[in-house]
Each structure stands twice: as structure tokens, then as C-alpha cells.
Amino acid sequence: MNRKKKTSLIISILLGEIGIDRFYLGYKGLGALKLITAGGLGIWWIYDIVMIATNKMKDATGASLA
């Protein structure tokens, strides 16, 4: 099941600091870790936004964001 890139990017920008973007992509463990660390003190949050925007992020099943 492919996830929409646009939806992932919006979720990452708005709720990525608390890990909701990782939960959405199927990475439950990483989502919890991101939640506990406040988005890796913001660094991991920005990293995920860049990775999604440049099409380098995949969901937990390995499918590209379409």
C-alpha cells in the first residue's frame, strides 16, 4: 500500500516533531522514539521533512511514497 507523498509531507511538517509522520508511514518504534525525544531535538524532524520532500523516504514496507 503506497502512501501519498503530499499527505506524508504535510503530516511531517505539522506533527513530525511528535513522531506522527513515522507512525503514519508504519514505523511504530521510530515514531515512539521520535515522540520521546521531541523529534530528536528538532534535528530528526527536519531530516524527515527533507527526506520526504526529496523522495528518499519509503514506508515501512519499502514502498515509495506516491
Maximum separation of any 2 CA atoms in the chain, in Å = 31
Residue 3 is predicted with a pLDDT of: 59
Q: What is the pTM of this model?
A: 0.86
Q: What is the pLDDT of residues 8-50, one digit of tens each?
A: 999 999 999 999 999 999 999 999 999 999 888 989 999 999 9
- C-alpha dist (Å) from residue 37 to 16, 18, 40, 62: 12, 8, 5, 25
Helix (H, G, I), strand (E, B) or coil at 36: helix
Residue 1 is predicted with a pLDDT of: 42
